[in-house]
Amino acid sequence: MTPDHLTAADLQTSLGRRIRSRTVRWLFMGAAAVTVLVSALIIWTVASGAWTFISQVELTRLADIGWFPRRGLFDLTTLLVNSAQISVIAMAVAVPSGFGAAFYLSEYAHPRVRRVMKPTLELLASVPSVVLGVFAISFITPSILTNFFSDINFFNKLAAGIAVGLLVIPLIASISEDALRAVPQALREASAGLGARRVTTSIRVVLPAAMSGLMAATIVGFSRAIGETMVVTIASGGGDTSLYNLSLYESGGTLTSAMAALGLGTDQVAGNNLAFQSLFFLGALLFAMTLVLNMVGDVIVRRLQNRY
Amino acid sequence: MSVLTSPAGIAADTADALRRRPGADVAGAVFKWLLIGATVFATGFLAVLLAVMIVDGWDVLSGNLWHFLTHGFSQRSAAEAGVWQGIIGSLQVALVTGVFAVPIGVATAIYLVEYAQDSRFARIVELNIRNLAGVPSIVYGLLGLAVFVQTIHGFTQGKTVIAGGMTLAAMVLPIIVITSVEALKAVPSSLREAAYGVGATKWEVLSRQVLPAALSTILTGTVLALARALGEAAPLILVGAATGFLSFGDANMLETFTGPYTALPVQIFNFARLPGADWGVNAAAASVVILVLVLAVNGLAIYLRNRFEKQW
C-alpha cells in the first residue's frame, strides 16, 4: 500500500469491522425489498380477486338498477356516479378554502402567523375520518342543510361530500402552499418593482407561475376524496345496497362504502361467493383510479420542482 | 402591512403606500379578507368540530365518563356501553403497527439515503414508496384480509390484533419511510466525512453518528404515523375488528393479541350507525375521547420535535 493512495479501507484496519459493515447493508436492502413486496402483494390481491369476479359474473349484471351484491346485482354506474358526485362536492369545498389558506400563508401572513398555522394544518390532517362522519350526521345535515333543503334525507350525499371536503382541506392547503413558495422571490420583486399591488402580484404573477402545482394539489386531493371511506359509510352509504339515483339529497353508496359494507359482512359472504369477490373487484378499480391520479400529480410536482 | 421581511414585501408595501389614495384599494382589501376567511374556515372547523362533539356528548362526558371509559360494549343500552375494549384494542394495534412498520420503514430509509447510489433497484423502491403513500386505506384492508388473515393464518391466527396491526403497518410504512428519509438527508455530510476520516466503517458512521443525529426527527415522524393508525377504521373493518358485542372471556392481556378485538374508531362507527339519540351521544363522547387522544399524540410529536431539534 503506497502512502499516497491511502483509502478509507486502510483506516478501518480490522477486516471483521469491514465484514460486519457489508453484512448490515444486506439487512437494509432486505427492508427496502419488503416495501416492494407490499406493493406486489396489494396488486396480486386485488388483481386475482377482481379476475375471479369478472370471469364468473354475468356481464349484464354490471349494469342494472343499483348495487345489491347479495342479490347478484352489481351496477357499477351507481357506485361510480356516487363516488364522482361526492368527490366533486368535496373539491368544491376544499379547493377554494385550501387555495385561499395557501395564498394567505404564502403571500400575506406574517412569519409568526405562518409558524403557528403550518403545524395547525398538520394537526387537522390527523383528525380521524370517523369523527367527521359523526360530524356530518350530527351537525352538517341536521343543523345546516335542513335549513336550506327541507326534504333532505337524513343520510345524504351532500353532507358526506362536505365532510370529505373538510377532511381534504389540509392536504390541498399544504401541497398548494409548497407550490406557491416554490415560486422564486425574484418574480414577486420584479412585479412589485413595476408598481403592482400585492393582489395584482398574487393573481397575475404568483398564480400563473404556481398553476401546475395547484393543479397537482387538486388532483391529489381528488384522489384522496375518492378513497375516503368512513365519512361516506356513516353519512351516506348507509346499508350495503344502493339504488341508482342522481339526487344529492338522497343517500347513496360509493366504491369505498360498498367495500366497507361488504367487509362488515365478510363472515356471511366469505367463500366463493360473488358478493365477496366483488369486494376485490371494487378494490382493484379504486386502486387503479387513485394510482393514475397520484402518478399524474406526482409528475406535475416533479416538473415544477425542476423548473426554478 | 407589517410584513417587512423580504425585498418583495417591502417593495409591495412601498408600492401600496405610494398610491394616491391608499384607502381606495378595494380589490386588494377584498382579496385579502377572502384569503383570511378561507384560512379561518380551513383551520377553524376543528374548533367547531370539538365544540359540537362536546355538546352532543355532554350527557356522557359530564356524568358518566368514568363508566364510559372503563366498560366494554353492551347491546342492552347505550348508557351501559363503554369504550374500554376499543381503547385497549387501539393501543394493542398501534403497538403491533409500530413493531412491524418502524424497523422496516427506518431501514428502508437508511438504504435509500445511505446505500443506494441511484441504482435501478433504489429508483424502483422510491417510486414504489410514493405510490404506496397514495393508496386508499381501505385497499390496505383488502391486503390484510387476503394475505394477513387468510394466507398467513398460521402466524396471525386469523382476524386478530396481529393481523390488524400488520395491516396498518403496511399503511403507515410509506409515511415512516418518507419522514425518515427527510430526517437522514438533513444530517450534514460533514458529520459523515469526519467519521470516515478517523477510520469508521460505514456501519459505524451510521450507528454512532448519523442515526443518533437524526433520531428525534425520525421519532417525530413515527409518532405522527402511529397517530394516523390510531384514527383509522376502514382497513380494520375489513380485517375483522368487532363492531358489536365483544367478549374477551377469561383471556389475559397476552392472549387478547390472538383473539377477537376492536378499536376505538371502529366503535365510534358502530355507535354512529345504531339508531336512537342515546347512541348518538355515545358516538359524540367517543369522538371527543379519540380527538383528545390523537391531539395529545400529535402534541407529543411536536414537543419532541421542538425539544430535540438540532440546528446545523
B307/A224: higher pLDDT? A224
The CATH number given to whatever domain includes residue A191 is: 1.10.3720.10
- For residue B254, the model assigns a pLDDT of 66
Contact flag A201-B12 (C-beta cutoff 8 Å): yes
pLDDT at res. B2? 46
Grid coordinates given for B285 = 363522547
Name residues of chain B where pLDDT drops below 50.
Answer: 1-2
Give dist(CA A40, CA B136) in Å, integer: 16
A40 and A143 both lie in a single domain: no
* Number of domains into which chain A is organized: 2
ipTM, interface predicted TM-score of the complex: 0.89
Kindly provide the residue ranges of all beta strands, DSSP E only, lying in A144-205, ordered along the sequence: none
Q: How many whole angstroms separate alpha carbon B274 and alpha carbon B74?
A: 12
Mean pLDDT within A259-279:
73
Long-range contacts of A260-268 (CB under 8 A, 24+ apart): A260/A229, A260/A230, A260/A233, A260/B138, A260/B234, A260/B237, A260/B238, A261/A233, A261/A237, A262/A69, A263/B138, A263/B141, A263/B145, A263/B237, A263/B238, A264/A240, A264/B237, A264/B243, A265/A240, A266/B145, A266/B238, A266/B240
- Indicate yes or no: CB of A263 within 8 angstroms of CB of B124: no
Spatial separation of the C-alpha atoms in residues A71 and A167, rounded to whole Å = 34
pLDDT score for B201: 85
Candidates B1, B87, B142, B228: best to mutate against A (most CBs of A within 10 A) is: B142
What does pLDDT average to over chain A?
A: 87
Boundary residue ending a domain (A22, A37, A56): A56
* Domains by residue range for chain B, with CATH: 69-308 (1.10.3720.10)
Together in a domain, A27 and A97: no
The answer to whether residues A43 and A89 belong to one domain is no
Stretch A147-157: mean pLDDT, rounded?
Answer: 86
pLDDT at position A1, please?
47
CA distances from B234 to A136, B142, B168, B200 (A): 17, 10, 10, 47
pLDDT at A3: 55
What percent of chain A shows pLDDT beyond 70?
Answer: 91
Q: Which residue has the higher pLDDT, A41 or B299?
A: A41
Spatial CB neighbours of B161, under 8 Å, sequence gap ≥ 6:
B89, B92, B93, B96, B256, B257, B258, B259, B261
Cβ separation A100–B39 shorter than 8 A: yes
Residues A78 and A257: their CA atoms lie apart, in Å, by 12
What is the rounded CA–CA span in Å between residue B14 and residue B311? Answer: 34
CA distance linking residue B233 with residue B263, whole number of Å? 8
Are both A46 and A147 inside the same structural domain? no
What pLDDT digit, counting tens, does each position of B7-54 carry? 777 777 776 666 655 556 788 889 999 999 999 999 888 899 999 999
Q: What is the pLDDT of residue A306?
A: 67
Q: Are residues A135 and A256 in the same domain?
A: yes
Higher pLDDT, A288 or A269: A288
Residues A71 and A49 in one domain: no
Cell of A117: 398555522
Is residue A101 within 8 Å of A175, Cβ to Cβ?
no
Do both A157 and A264 map to the same domain? yes
Q: Which pLDDT score, from 0 to 100, does residue B177 have?
A: 95
Chain B residue with minimal CA distance to A285?
Answer: B139
In a shared domain, residues A232 and A214: yes
Element (H, E) at A66: strand A66-68
The residue that leads in pLDDT, A160 or B247, is A160
Dihedral, CA of residue B31, residue B33, residue B36 and residue B42, to nearest 10? -80
For residue A95, the enclosing domain spans: 60-307
Domain termination site, one of A37, A56, A75: A56
Chain B CB contacts of A279 under 8 Å are 142
Which amino acid is residue A281, in one-letter code? F
Minimal Cα–Cα distance from B127 to chain A, Å? 9
A289 lies in the same domain as A194:
yes
